[in-house]
Amino acid sequence: MQTIQRAIIRNNWTKEEIEAIYNKPLLELIYEAATVHRQYHKPDEVQVSTLLSIKTGGCPEDCSYCGQAARYHTDIKVQKLLPTEMVVAHAQKAKENGSSRFCMAAAWREVRDNRDFDRVIEMVEQINDLGLEVCCTLGMLTEDQAKRLQEAGLYAYNHNLDTSEEFYDEIISTRSFNNRLNTLQNVRKAGITLCSGGIIGLGETDRDRVSLLLTLANMETHPESVPINALARVKGTPMENMPKVDIWDMVRMIATARITMPKSMVRLSAGRIEMTEVEQAWCFMAGANSIFAGENKTLLVTPNPELSLDMQMFNRLGIKPMQNSKQETETVF
C-alpha cells in the first residue's frame, strides 16, 4: 500500500502538479486528502461559521452569479447599512449561542472613506469589545482602510478570487483579477488573516479550477480560510439556468484544496442546500472542515440548511463544532 508522508506546506506548486492531483482517480484522491487532513486537523471537528449581511443588494458590480448586483432583476430586497446597535445585538446573540467569531458582509464594490465606513469601524470595535473575533467582507480595500480595520480589531477579511485569472473576465467585467489580488495584499500587509476561495459551476473548465487553486496555494502564506462554493443559481442573474454542480466536482475541488493547502480551513460554503447528507459527508471526508450555518436558513441572500438539521447531521457523522479560540463557532442570521 502507498505510504503518504506528512504533507509539507509549499507555495511553489506548478500547474501540472496540481492538475495531476485534481485528476487522480477519485477514491485515491479522497484517501490522500483525508490523510493530509488528519495530519493537520482533528477529523471529527468542523467549524460552524456565521455571516450577517449588514448591507444587502444594490451593488454596482456585475458578478454574473450574484443576486445582489443592482443590474439584475432578482427578488433580493435592498437593505441599507444596518444600524450599529442592531448589528452589535446580533453579535451579542451569536456570542450567547456559543459563537466566538462574527462575520459582517456589505454589498459594496469597494470601501469608501465615508460615514458608512466609520460606522463599520464602530461595529468592529464594539463587537471586538464583546470578546468575539470579527470578520468582514466589504469589497475592495486600500492599505490605509485595511490598517484602520486592523486597528479597530478586525481579525479576518473575506475576499474571494471567485474563479481563475483566465476565466475571470467571463464572469465579472467591472473589476479585474488583479484588483482582487491587490486587496488581498493590502489585507495581509495590515496583519489581518485572509479568507479567500472561489465558486465552481460558473461554466469554467477543470483547468480554470486548477488555476484558481494554483493562485491560492502559491500565495506566500496560504489563506487561513479557503471557501469552496458551488454556484447557488439565483433567478434573474445570468447564471440562473446553469446546471447543478456535480457533487464529485465539489469533492475534487475540496480534496485538491486540502492537499495543496494542508493547514487552511477548507470551507464547504454555498450550495449545501442542494446536497444530501451523504454528499456532504463525502466533502468532509475529502477535507472540508468548515461550513456556514444559519438560524433563518439563509447564507446572505441564498438558502442554507437550518442549524438544527446541521447539528443532527453532525451527530450522525460523529462531528462536533470546532470551539477553540482561532477556529471557533460562528452563527448566521
Specify the residue, 55 or 222, whose C-beta has the smaller distance to ligand SF4: 55
Nearer to ligand SF4, 71 or 244 (CB): 71
Is 135 in the active site? yes
Among 148, 258, 267, 272, the active-site one is: 267
Among 63, 101, 209, 233, the active-site one is 63
Stretch binding ligand SF4 (CB under 6 A), from 59-67, 232-240, 287-295, 312-320: 59-67
Measure the CA–CA gap between 54 and 322, rounded to whole angstroms. 25
Residue 231 touching ligand SF4 (CB under 6 A): no
Q: Which one of 62-70, 91-99, 142-150, 270-278 is the stretch in contact with ligand SF4 (CB under 6 A)?
A: 62-70
Question: What is the closest distance, in whole angstroms, from the C-beta atom of residue 107 to ligand SF4 in the complex?
Answer: 4
Nearer to ligand SF4, 139 or 197 (CB): 139
61 versus 133: smaller Cβ distance to ligand SF4: 61
- How many residues form the binding site for ligand SF4 (CB under 6 A)? 9
Member of 52, 69, 88, 161 binding ligand SF4 (CB under 6 A): 69
Q: What are the CA-CA distances from residue 258 to residues 96, 99, 252, 325 (Å)?
A: 32, 25, 10, 22
- β-pairing, 320-321 with 302-303? unpaired
User: Considering the rule CB under 6 A, would residue 66 count as an interface residue with ligand SF4?
Assistant: yes
The one catalytic residue in 180, 195, 233, 252 is 195
Q: Find the binder of ligand SF4 among 46, 54, 63, 135 (CB under 6 A).
A: 63
Flag whether 136 is marked binding: no
**Any known ligand binding at 66?**
yes
Q: What is the spatial distance between Cα 238 and Cα 215, in angstroms, rounded to a whole number?
A: 26
Binding flag, residue 199, ligand SF4 (CB under 6 A): no
Judged by CB under 6 A, the residue of 49, 50, 53, 68 near ligand SF4 is 68
Angle at 6 between CA 4 and CA 12, to 5 degrees: 100
Shortest gap between Cβ of 201 and ligand SF4 (angstroms)? 15
Catalytic residue, chosen from 6, 101, 103, 207, is 103
Task: Report if residue 107 touches ligand SF4, rule: CB under 6 A.
Answer: yes
Q: In the 3-class helix/strand/coil scheme, how is the chain assigned residue by residue?
A: CCCCCCCCCCCCCCHHHHHHHHCCCHHHHHHHHHHHHHHHCCCCEEEEECCEEEEECCECCCCCCCCCECCCCCCCCCECCCCHHHHHHHHHHHHHCCCCEEEEEECCCECCCCHHHHHHHHHHHHHHHCCCEEEEECCECCHHHHHHHHHHCEEEEECCCECCCCCHHHHCCCCCHHHHHHHHHHHHHCCCEEECCEEECCCCCHHHHHHHHHHHHCCCCCCCEEEEEECCCCCCCCCCCCCCCCHHHHHHHHHHHHHHCCCCEEEECCCHHHCCHHHHHHHHHCCCCEEECECCCEECCEECCEHHHHHHHHHHHCCEECCCCCCCCECEC
Task: Provide the minimum distance between the beta carbon of 243 and ligand SF4 in the complex, in angstroms, as a whole number.
Answer: 21
Nearer to ligand SF4, 107 or 136 (CB): 107
Residue 136 annotated to the active site: no
**What is the contact surface with ligand SF4 in residues (CB under 6 A)?**
59, 61, 63, 66, 68-69, 107, 109, 139
Annotated binding site for [2Fe-2S] cluster: 103, 135, 195, 267
The residues annotated with a catalytic role in the active site are 59, 63, 66, 103, 135, 195, 267
